[in-house]
Every structure is written in C-alpha cells, then in structure tokens.
C-alpha cells in the first residue's frame, strides 16, 4: 500500500512540476518586447513575475496573489488577497492595478493564472465588495461549473471580462496565461481580464435563476443585472496559453511510464465523476485531469477533490476492488477552505471512518479523510492548472 501511495504522489508531483510558472513564462519571453508595466495576478503570479523580472529588470511590476503564495519579490510590489472568497485587501489591490493600468506609458504585460477572479474584486457600477462576496459565496456552493460562475462574476466586475484592456487603452496588452480551466477558454481563466466577456447580464440572470440563487443574491446585484448594457468594444490583445491541465496530465503519463489516460476531462458532479472514473479505470495506472463540482447541502469542511476521493473509495468498495490506491488533488495545493490539496484513499480507507454517509451528507469530507489518514497535504504549490487524479490498481509498484 505504501508503495502505491508513494508512486501516486510522485506521479501527481510530476503533473504539478509541469505547470511550474517560472519555466512556463521563461519559455515565452523571447518574442515579447520590453513592457512599460507588468501585472501578475493569480495563484502562480509570484513565480510568473519572477520569470518576467529576470528578463525585464526595472519594469514596474505588481503581483496580486493569495496569502499562501505572497512572498516578497525583488523589483515587484506584492499584494496579498483573499481566495476563494474576495476580501478588502483584494479590493485595494484591484484599485492599485486599475490605477497602474491607467497610468501606463506603453505596452502592458499581463501574467494571468487561476485564482485571479477572486483576488481582484473590482465591483462594477454601484455594487459593493459585500455584494460581490455574497454572490461568490453562493456560487461556490451552487454546483455551477467554473464557466458559468465566471460568466456571472464578469457582469459584476470592472476588471473581469476584458477590464484590463479597457483600463490599459490605448496601449496594447500581451497576456501569458496559465490555465486552470478545462478546455482553456480564455474568457473563463481568472474571469478573462484580457478577453471578451463570456456572456451577457441577461444570461447571468438566467443562470442565477436556474440555480435557485436569484432571490438569494443582494438586491443591488439584481438591480445591476437588470439594467440593459451593450457589450463594450475592447482593444485587441495578444493572449498566449503557456500551461494547462492537459499538459500536466501528459507529464504525469510520462512519469508513470505505462498508464491509461481517461481521454476526456473529468467534470460535473463529484458523485457522477467517481462512477465515471471507476467505469473507465484499467488494471495498473489510470490518470485524469479536470475539475468537478459539489453542491453544498451541509455545513462541513472539505472541497471537490477531497469529496471526489472519498466517493471513489465508496465506489471501489461497492465494486469489490482490492489492492488499489487513488490520489485526487488540486494542483494549487489547496482544496476548498481547507489546508489540504485533496485526498489519498485505498481499500482500507472506509474502515477507518466512523460514519461515512453522515459526514458526506454534511459535506464534511475533510473530517472523514482526517479520520482515515487520507488527507493529501502538499502546501501551496505556486501554480494552478485545475485538478489531477491517479488510480493504481494491483500489487506493489516499485
């Protein structure tokens, strides 16, 4: 069992390393002219900015990242902000970014990575940060996928959905983008600060209504979304994808040596995803990437990776599997509002948990995995390309 756990960890680590932000940015700097301003935002912002400063020393640089990754960086102003729920520090960081963009004297280099949506809350119109926090909290437990959540967030923001382009105009923007979104839709990564909006205010209303959230969002949000506004014209931007979930899965496959890769990204509700993974799993090593969703019905702690790992354990037991290990983790090293990156489970996990069904019903996968010694702890990785999974079926793997 320990051999399988060690192997799963090594394979997962290879996927995370493939998304190293310093290396990813460095590979794409040769064809970029010296900018007048660099803005880096997201969980990988510090590493991305470090690479840019190695080439463009002396260029004014603002880094906005989450608290776990907010370490000082020579030559840059590093601002820490809340994630996954926006906070006052993020609002102040957004003001600093907007002011810098408006004052820029030439081309702007934007370094974008996952997490930027929450880290730069810039309320649109008469909205307040409290309004945006209330909506974001509802969205995180809604079961909506990341694209739909970002469509709504964009309609409430002054920076998302191309806002950086508006504030940088007339100067051009080049963006190097590390994707945490399945399918790499540039409008969805960090809510698309250098891309066109995903949708419209009317579509945001429809999504909130279909998710049963329309009557729960603040009245100011309903008023704001109810005002018809044309989609603004945006200056052109050069958006370059420099890393993705698929690239990290490919790196895991290389590290595994011989493995079956589930061909489509694993998305949707965690219960459905657990069944799909077990349906497709082969003897030996099976790998996948993606990003699932959880509908919050209880008050426990956990995240989509921890709950998916636990549901895979349940599904494997139902099928009578023996001698298996599964690791499911977030590439950023943090799953939901916990210190864990995800879960690592095997054929003995469920026997170590007092009340699996009750804990799951309360969305308390963190407590369940803690009982079983199944929390995946990596610490903040400094990158973010969504989620990665490893399933090993069989005996010892050296």
In degrees and rounded to multiples of 5, residue 207 shows phi and psi of -65, -45
Distance CA(52)–CA(61), nearest Å, equals: 9
pLDDT class for 398, splitting at 50, 70, 90?
A: very low
Residue 269's DSSP bridge partners are 293
With vertex at residue 295, the alpha carbon angle to CA 294 and CA 298, rounded to the nearest 5 degrees, is 110
Q: Is the pLDDT of residue 396 over 50?
A: no
Average pLDDT value for residue range 177-201: 91
How confident is the model at residue 231, as a pLDDT?
A: 67
pLDDT class for 295, splitting at 50, 70, 90?
A: confident
* DSSP letters for 248-269: HHHHHHHHHSS-EE-SS-EEEE
Question: pLDDT of 230-245, one tens digit each?
Answer: 766 788 799 999 999 9
The percent of residues above 90 in pLDDT, for the chain, comes to: 84
Distance CA(52)–CA(157), nearest Å, equals: 27
Q: Which domains does the chain have, with CATH numbers?
A: 2-14+246-393 (3.40.1480.10), 20-243 (3.40.50.10180)
Q: In what helix (H) or strand (E) does residue 116 lie, and over which residues does it extend?
A: helix 116-119
How confident is the model at residue 1, as a pLDDT?
A: 58
How confident is the model at residue 338, as a pLDDT?
A: 93
pLDDT class for 206, splitting at 50, 70, 90?
A: very high
Measured in whole angstroms, how far is the alpha carbon of residue 52 from the centre of its chain?
Answer: 22
Distance CA(216)–CA(51), nearest Å, equals: 43
How confident is the model at residue 227, as a pLDDT?
A: 86
Which pTM was predicted?
A: 0.83
Question: pLDDT of 214-224, one tens digit each?
Answer: 999 999 999 99
Q: Establish how many alpha carbons lie within 13 A of residue 195's alpha carbon, considering only the half-sphere containing its beta carbon.
A: 22
Q: Is the pLDDT of residue 146 over 80?
A: no
Average pLDDT value for residue range 339-357: 97
The percent of residues above 70 in pLDDT, for the chain, comes to: 98
Average model confidence (pLDDT) across the chain: 94
Question: pLDDT of 96-113, one tens digit each?
Answer: 999 999 999 999 999 999
């Amino acid at each position: 069992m320990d051999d399988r756990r060690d192997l799963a960890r090594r394979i997962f680590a290879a996927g995370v390393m493939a998304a190293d932000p310093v290396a990813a940015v460095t590979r794409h700097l040769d064809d970029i002219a010296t900018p007048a301003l660099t803005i880096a935002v997201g969980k990988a912002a510090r590493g991305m900015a470090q690479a840019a400063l190695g080439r463009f020393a002396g260029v004014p640089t603002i880094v906005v990242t989450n608290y776990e990754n907010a370490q000082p960086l020579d030559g840059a102003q590093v601002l820490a902000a809340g994630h996954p729920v926006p906070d006052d520090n993020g609002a102040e960081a957004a003001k600093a970014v907007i002011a810098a963009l408006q004052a820029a004297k030439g081309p702007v280099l934007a370094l974008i990575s996952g997490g930027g949506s929450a880290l730069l809350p810039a309320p649109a119109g008469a909205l307040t940060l409290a309004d945006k926090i209330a909506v974001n909290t509802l969205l995180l437990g809604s079961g909506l996928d990341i694209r739909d959540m970002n469509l709504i967030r964009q309609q409430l923001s002054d920076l998302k959905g191309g806002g950086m382009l508006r504030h940088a105009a007339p100067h051009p923007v080049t963006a190097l983008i590390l994707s945490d979104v399945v399918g790499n839709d540039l409008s969805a990564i960090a809510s698309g600060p250098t891309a066109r909006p995903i949708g419209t205010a009317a579509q945001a209303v429809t999504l909130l209504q279909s998710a049963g959230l329309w009557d729960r969002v603040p009245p100011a949000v309903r008023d704001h979304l109810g005002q018809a506004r044309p989609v603004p014209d945006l200056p052109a931007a050069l958006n370059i994808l420099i890393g993705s979930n698929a690239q990290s899965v490919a790196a895991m496959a290389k590290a595994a040596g011989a493995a079956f890769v589930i061909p489509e990204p694993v998305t949707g509700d965690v219960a459905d995803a657990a069944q799909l993974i077990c349906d497709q799993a082969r003897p030996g090593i099976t790998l996948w990437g993606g990003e699932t969703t959880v509908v919050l019905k209880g008050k426990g702690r956990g995240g989509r990776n921890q709950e998916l790992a636990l549901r895979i354990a349940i599904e494997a037991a139902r099928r009578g599997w023996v001698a298996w290990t599964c690791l499911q983790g977030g590439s950023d090293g943090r799953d939901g509002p916990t210190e864990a990156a995800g879960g690592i489970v095997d054929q003995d996990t469920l026997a170590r948990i007092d009340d699996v069904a009750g804990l799951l019903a309360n969305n308390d996968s963190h407590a369940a995995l803690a009982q079983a010694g199944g929390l995946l702890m990596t610490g903040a990785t400094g990158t973010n390309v969504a989620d990665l999974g490893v399933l090993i079926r069989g005996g010892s793997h050296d």
